[in-house]
Amino acid sequence: MISDLRTCLWFNGDGGAAAEFYVSLLPDSRIDHVGRRDSAAAPRVIRMTLGGVPYMILDVPPAEGMPQFTHGPAASISVLTGDQAETDRLWAALTAGGGAESMCGWLTDRFGVLWQIVPEALPRMLESEDRAAAGRAQAAMMQVGKLDIAVLEAAFAGD
C-alpha cells in the first residue's frame, strides 16, 4: 500500500531556495520536512505541499560528484488560476529574476522548472461542444505567452 506519493524534483544545489519561493506563491502551501545529512549540512530532501499537492525536492550540489540533471519540458507544474489577477501575479513572480516566458501559458522559472499558468476559463472553452468557438479560443491561445482571459473569451465569442 502506498502511504506517501509525491512528485520529486531534482535540484543541483538551490533546492532550498526554490522550496521557500514556491511555498510563498500558492495558498495551502508549506514546507513539511527538511532532511539533512547532519545539522550543519544544506538540506538534501525537502518535502513540501504546493496548493495542497505533495512534492519533494532532492537537492544534490555539483560538488558531491553525482550526475547533474536539468528540468525539461516533458514535466511541468500546472496551476489552474481563478481569474486574470491570479494569472498575472503568478506569471510575474515566476518569470522574475531570470525566468523565461514561453507560449500558451508556459514559462520556465529562475530555477529551470517549467510551469503552466492556466486560467480556469480556458479548459471550459477548449472543451466546449461548440467546436468552432473552441477552435477560435485555441488559435488565440497559440498566439500568446501569458494567457489573457479577455482575449480568449473574445476569440471564443467570435469577436
Q: What is the CATH number of domain 1-61?
A: 3.30.720.100
Picking from 59, 30, 26, the residue whose alpha carbon sits closest to that of residue 45 is 59
Q: Which three cell numbers stand for residue 114?
A: 517549467
d(CA 91, CA 113): 13
34, 25 contact by CB (below 8 A): no
Q: Which three cell numbers stand for residue 118?
A: 492556466
d(CA 25, CA 38): 29
pLDDT of residue 97: 97
- pTM for this one? 0.90
Handedness of CA 152, 153, 154, 158 (dihedral sign): positive
Strand order in the sheet with 7-11: 7-11, 53-59, 45-50, 30-35
pLDDT of residue 1: 64
Residue at 9: amino acid letter = L
18, 67 contact by CB (below 8 A): no
Residue at 13: amino acid letter = G
pLDDT of residue 42: 79
Q: Give the right CATH number for 71-159 from 3.30.565.10, 2.60.120.260, 3.30.70.20, 3.10.180.10.
A: 3.10.180.10
pLDDT of residue 2: 65
CA distances to 39, 40, 47, 67, 145 from 36, rounded to whole Å, are 6, 8, 12, 19, 38
Each residue's pLDDT expressed in tens, for the chain with a length of 159 residues: 666 889 999 999 899 999 999 999 999 999 999 998 877 777 889 999 999 999 999 998 877 777 788 898 889 999 999 999 999 999 999 999 999 999 999 999 999 999 999 999 999 999 999 999 999 999 999 999 999 999 999 999 998
d(CA 149, CA 84): 6
Residue at 49: amino acid letter = T
Domain spans, the chain = 1-61, 71-159
Tell me the pLDDT tens digit for each residue of 94-113: 999 999 999 999 999 999 99
Tell me the pLDDT tens digit for each residue of 143-157: 999 999 999 999 999
